[in-house]
Structure 1
Amino acid sequence: MLHEILNDVETATEHVREYYRQDIDRGMPRTGASFDQWKGGGDRPDIANEITGDDCVAVSFLAVEVPRAAAIGLMDREKANVDRLLSLIPTDINMWELDEAGYEKHLGLQSPAQELWDVITRRNGEKWKVGRTKGSKIMARKRPNLIPIVDSVIEDLIGYGHYWHDWHRALNDGSGLPQRLEKIRQDSGILELDYKPSILRIMDIVLWAEGKAAIKRRNAISAAASTVLLP
């Protein structure tokens, strides 16, 4: 289990419902709510096998920027290789539907997805400032059903980050997590708003929201303790 919040369907549903509210801070929209749907999504058929400017804009909705050098590299200098690798990664397979052989084929160490990860994060070349967080958001934009988003908030909550096999194991541990996530997606009401984020994205939102809440609670406790200790 990644975190107990994923067993609390009621609270998790409220996290998702709140995330997709149209107006939140002084009437401004939460940009992250548009990440999946922006310009028809990153996996829509006509652009599924290339990284586009719209993908870079969508990634920026999640509070990170694709560095200029990386954008040029992914959409120009490395374009042929990126396009080739994306063409080998299916858009219609869900992470939790993969058995062990399927996992190794699509997400394992010798898979096109792993090779694309290495290209995006420049593991074997001069860095262009794309690490695990930015890399996961770029790949989740292109393959939302296969690649989970990971950032520092989620890492702090669950204790690990870019380990696809751990996410795959949690989704296939027999606890019915994919079915709970589907219920959360349905009960949140977002499908009525014509949003249809992937199940992995729903999991990301729940974990992120719970992580932010945990940070807020810790800060409040710390502030209260500091007040008590003041002379």
Structure 2
Amino acid sequence: MHLSAEPLSVTLPPRAAIWVLGDGQARICAELDKLPTDVDLWERPDLMRPGGPMLNLWRLLSRDANWPESRPGGNDVGIAKTSKLIAAKRPRLAPILDSVVCDALGPVKDRWEAFAHAMIDPKRRDRIERAVPDGVEIGVLRAVDVVVVWMAGRHPRSDDSPPVAMQ
């Protein structure tokens, strides 16, 4: 497995990088093999459900990459790094999550389900795709990532305002 996350600016802590490229490699590849490369998040939300390969991969990267021994507090691979690593390998399935995006989504039980539900509407996807400048080759999920971060920066949420994703 090649750890190609440079375009998404991911730097793993040394302990986690050693595990990902060593002892964890076979387990990570096995979960990645269960995730298709030719479908979009809204087409296969079942892949994100508990016990599904996406959640298994998420747990491997965010919790199990704790080499050589488990330590309290985890492995310093938080939500943003984990989602960027997965998005680097499955950009059509994995939204990038960070504190800005999570705040923009507002309180939701399952972030992937919220993304999948929001993206089911073909008209909404079309509006997002039309917002991408000509000549820029990014998928609709990357466009959403950019728009949410941009909107959140332009319109910071107060406690009583609706999430950016709903505006």
1:84 maps to: 30
| Count of aligned positions | 151
Residue pair 2:49, 2:55 contacting (<8 A) in 1 also: yes
1:154 maps to: 101
Normalised TM-score (structure 2)? 0.80
Residue pair 2:65, 2:75 contacting (<8 A) in 1 also: no
Normalised TM-score (structure 1)? 0.59
CA shift, 1:158, in A, is 2.7
Aligned-residue RMSD, C-alpha: 2.3
Query: Given the superposition, is the C-alpha separation of residues 198 and 175 from structure 1 closer, same or farther in structure 2, using an over 3 Å criterion?
Result: closer
Partners in 2 of 1:75 and 1:160 — Cα distance?
Answer: 34
What amino acid does structure 2 have at the position aligned with 1:59? L
Q: Which has the higher contact order (CA 8 A, sep 6+)?
A: 1
Structure 1: state its 5+ residue gaps.
Answer: 1-49, 219-231
CA shift, 1:155, in A, is 2.1
Partners in 2 of 1:103 and 1:157 — Cα distance?
Answer: 21
Structure 2: state its 5+ residue gaps.
Answer: 159-167
Partners in 1 of 2:50 and 2:65 — Cα distance?
Answer: 14
Query: Given the superposition, is the C-alpha separation of residues 184 and 157 from structure 1 closer, same or farther in structure 2, using an over 3 Å criterion?
Result: same
Partners in 1 of 2:8 and 2:61 — Cα distance?
Answer: 14
1:210 maps to: 151
Matches within 5 A, 1:1-231: 50-52=1-3, 54-55=4-5, 57-60=6-9, 65-96=11-42, 98=43, 102-104=44-46, 106-122=47-63, 126=70, 127-160=74-107, 163-172=111-120, 174=121, 176-185=123-132, 188-189=133-134, 191=135, 195-215=136-156
Partners in 2 of 1:142 and 1:204 — Cα distance?
Answer: 16
What amino acid does structure 2 have at the position aligned with 1:78? G
What percentage of aligned pairs have identical amino acids? 28
CA shift, 1:65, in A, is 2.6
